[in-house]
């Protein structure tokens, strides 16, 4: 018997302004090589688990591409968007996996936007420092089109990890 596993993450994003839904978007992300490696190492090799994952945003400025070889210290094709008032990247608080899937639906990540910007997408990393270049970059991905935000907007992000 053979079982193929393809790691995927579905990002579902909503932008709220003054209690009204402005737009929503969703996308499947690219799981990086280092993201796959940390899952294999921590599950099968060492048995240790990274305690917390964090979600952050991708700035549209200077964007060229995502790559499977991207890491937090080397992702030449994109920049992190940090125009939100949260002190750190927002924690990804997931529920226990059921039927090969888990998500943060019970505790969606909320970004309190405090600048005018164009957001390209989002990513998942195991380090909380906003704008930081350490930690393991699990995955990254794009909206269907870059989205404008202004101070006062709130971005709500749900990520479903599945096979």
Q: What is the mean pLDDT of residues 46-53?
A: 75
Domain ranges of the chain: 8-158
Q: Please give the pLDDT value at position 102.
A: 86
* 50-61 residue pLDDT tens: 668 999 999 999
Residue 126 has which token pair?
A: 């195991």
Phi-psi region of 19 (alpha: psi -120 to 50; beta: other; left: phi over 0): left
pLDDT at res. 74: 94
156 DSSP assignment: E
pLDDT value of residue 44: 58
Q: Is the pTM of this model over 0.85?
A: yes
The predicted pLDDT at position 36 comes to 76
Q: How far apart, in whole angstroms, are the C-alpha atoms of residue 81 and residue 118? A: 9
Looking at per-residue pLDDT, the higher value among 78 and 41 belongs to 78
**How far, in Å, CA of 52 to CA of 61, rounded?**
28
For 80-136, write each residue's pLDDT tens digit: 999 999 999 999 998 888 887 889 999 999 999 999 999 999 999 999 999 999 999
Q: How does DSSP assign 14-50, residue by residue?
A: EEEETTEEEEEEEEEPEEPHHHHHHHHIIIIIS----
Mean of the per-residue pLDDT values of the chain = 89
The string of pLDDT tens digits covering residues 15-33 is 999 999 999 999 898 777 8
Over residues 143-157, mean pLDDT: 96
The pLDDT-based confidence of 1 (bands split at 50, 70, 90) is low
For the chain, what percent of residues have pLDDT higher than 70?
90
Is residue 125 within 8 Å of 137, Cβ to Cβ?
yes
């Amino acid at each position: 018997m053979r079982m193929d596993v393809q790691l995927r993450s579905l990002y579902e994003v909503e932008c709220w302004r003054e209690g009204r839904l402005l737009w929503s978007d969703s996308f499947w992300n690219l799981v990086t090589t280092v993201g796959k490696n940390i899952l294999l190492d921590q599950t099968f090799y060492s048995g240790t688990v990274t305690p917390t994952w964090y979600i952050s945003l991708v700035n549209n400025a200077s964007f060229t591409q995502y790559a499977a070889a991207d890491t937090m210290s080397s992702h030449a094709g994109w920049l992190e968007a940090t125009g939100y008032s949260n002190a750190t990247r927002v924690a990804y608080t997931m529920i226990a996996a059921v039927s090969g899937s888990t998500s943060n639906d019970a505790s969606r990540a909320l970004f309190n936007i405090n600048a005018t910007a164009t957001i390209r997408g989002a990513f998942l990393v195991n380090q909380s420092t906003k704008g930081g270049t350490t930690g393991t970059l699990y995955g990254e991905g794009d909206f269907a089109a870059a989205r404008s935000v202004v101070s006062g907007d709130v971005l709500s992000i749900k990520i479903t990890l599945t096979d």
